[in-house]
């Protein structure tokens, strides 16, 4: 074995590095300039979406057979990471498109995949994921949204809460109870279209961060859909939902890594320019220690995220553990890193004139959605004890 050859396993393939460069170029030119405005106005960053769609980064995970880029899980994570580095709200475009469509990829029929993945790949529609309810958050199996069979149709009634990109997305994966006596085994998954009669949306939530990504309730009032819009077999919905989250927690880890990288990048530039006591504050050891810790935590989070992405692509048996670990560790690290970035900027970091306060606010949600980090620790502990 040639010197250094054994270390190639730790290097990203050239095609993945090329993807990073391409996404960063697009984001620097066409996404980052809209980040502050999206945060200030709370409006969906349409210009960012158009830029990502033009470059085929809006839903890179969709297989080529449906017109998608066919990016593997690691490449998709890199796309989300780089978009989040520029704008966390915009990173939820590829992230939530994957979240919404993953149940179809895991459990859907060939026909339902062709019908709904094709327009998402083309950029003609987005896909959201409707699992949580007002009284069913971490305990998703307690959902009360019902789906009742009526001939060749299902009729859905209920309310879904905390739905990312609700109102903007055309399609929704909706989980509903089809057999109340069977608890989690009585939950099924369906595709609901925005245009279906009886579908409506609540007012946008007034959030701490990711303000450019609308979060709303989805109301289902006697929504009648064809039976062929069920995803997988009846009663398999909850299992599909949990398998989906195993894969998409990796995307939240990638988002957290990207937010943290953006904060570290900005803080490094600031401390090199800011002068006090006759020299750049980057020359002070206390500042250097903070930067060292930020960089160390960030790289550890990135490596764990990439390892989890590899397991997602292969469908490894320990994906549940690694997905939870990556999401939990990366989001905790992002919260610490962005908070430290604000501290490094001092009073300036506390103002909206500088981006790190936005990044700190955006980072917080990564500790909460797709399962709080307390739930992630429960998931990890159970996997460890089971093994």
Contacts of 17 (CB under 8 A, 6+ apart): none
In which element (H, E) is residue 224 found? strand 215-226
Contact 39, 212 (CB under 8 A): yes
- For residue 34, CA distances in Å to 13, 88, 131, 205, 259 come to 31, 11, 30, 21, 15
Nearest to 231 by CA among 274, 188, 266, 180: 188
Q: Which pair of tokens denotes residue 91?
A: 């990173």
Contact 80, 25 (CB under 8 A): no
Q: How far apart are CA 195 and CA 208, in angstroms?
A: 30
b/e burial code for range 93-123 (CB count within 10 A of at least 16 → b): bbbbbbbbbbbbbbbbeeebbebbbbbbbbb
Contact 213, 44 (CB under 8 A): yes
CA 71 to mean position of chain CA atoms = 16
- Phi and psi at 8, nearest 5°, equal -60, -25
Q: Which pair of tokens denotes residue 155?
A: 């009729």
3-state SS of the chain: helix, strand, coil percent to 5?
60, 15, 25
Please indicate whether residue 111 is annotated as part of the active site: no
Q: Which pair of tokens denotes residue 332?
A: 């905790």
3 state DSSP class of 177: strand
The three-point CA angle 28-311-59 to 5° equals 40
Orientation angle between helical segments 73-86 and 285-314, nearest 10 degrees: 150
**Which one is catalytic: 81, 82, 133, 370?**
370
Instruction: Enumerate the active-site residues.
Output: 370
């Amino acid at each position: 074995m040639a010197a250094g050859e054994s270390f190639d396993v730790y290097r990203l393939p050239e095609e993945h590095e090329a993807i990073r460069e391409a996404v960063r170029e697009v984001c620097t030119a066409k996404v980052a300039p809209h980040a502050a405005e999206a945060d200030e106005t709370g409006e969906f960053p349409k210009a960012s979406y158009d830029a990502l769609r033009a470059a085929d980064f809006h839903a890179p995970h969709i297989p080529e057979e449906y017109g998608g880029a066919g990016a593997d899980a690691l490449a998709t994570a890199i796309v989300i990471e780089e978009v989040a580095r520029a704008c966390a709200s915009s990173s939820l475009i590829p992230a939530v498109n994957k979240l919404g469509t993953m149940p179809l990829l895991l459990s859907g029929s060939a026909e339902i995949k062709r019908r709904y993945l094709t327009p998402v790949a083309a950029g003609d529609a987005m896909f959201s994921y409707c699992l949580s309810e007002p009284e069913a958050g971490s305990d998703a199996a307690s959902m009360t949204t019902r789906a009742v069979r009526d001939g060749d149709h299902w009729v859905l009634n209920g309310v879904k809460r905390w739905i990312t990109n609700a109102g903007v997305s055309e399609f929704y994966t909706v989980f509903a109870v089809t057999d109340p006596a069977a608890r989690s085994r009585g939950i099924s998954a369906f595709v609901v279209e925005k245009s279906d009669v009886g579908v409506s949306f609540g007012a946008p939530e007034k959030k701490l961060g990711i303000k450019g990504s609308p979060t709303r309730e989805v109301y289902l009032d006697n929504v009648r859909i064809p039976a062929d819009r069920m995803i997988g077999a009846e009663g398999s919905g909850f299992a599909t939902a949990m398998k989906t989250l195993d894969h998409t927690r990796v995307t939240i880890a990638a988002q957290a890594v990207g937010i943290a990288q953006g904060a570290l990048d900005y803080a490094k530039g600031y401390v090199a320019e800011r002068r006090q006591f006759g020299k750049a504050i980057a020359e002070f050891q206390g500042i250097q220690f903070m930067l060292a810790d930020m960089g160390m935590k960030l790289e550890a989070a990135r490596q764990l995220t990439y390892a989890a992405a590899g397991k997602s692509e292969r469908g490894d048996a320990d994906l549940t553990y690694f997905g939870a670990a990556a999401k939990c560790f990366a989001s905790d690290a992002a919260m610490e890193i962005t908070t430290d970035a604000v501290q490094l900027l001092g009073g300036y970091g506390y103002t909206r004139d500088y981006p790190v306060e936005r990044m700190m606010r955006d980072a917080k949600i990564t500790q909460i959605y797709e399962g709080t980090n307390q739930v992630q620790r429960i998931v990890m502990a159970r996997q460890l004890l089971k093994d």
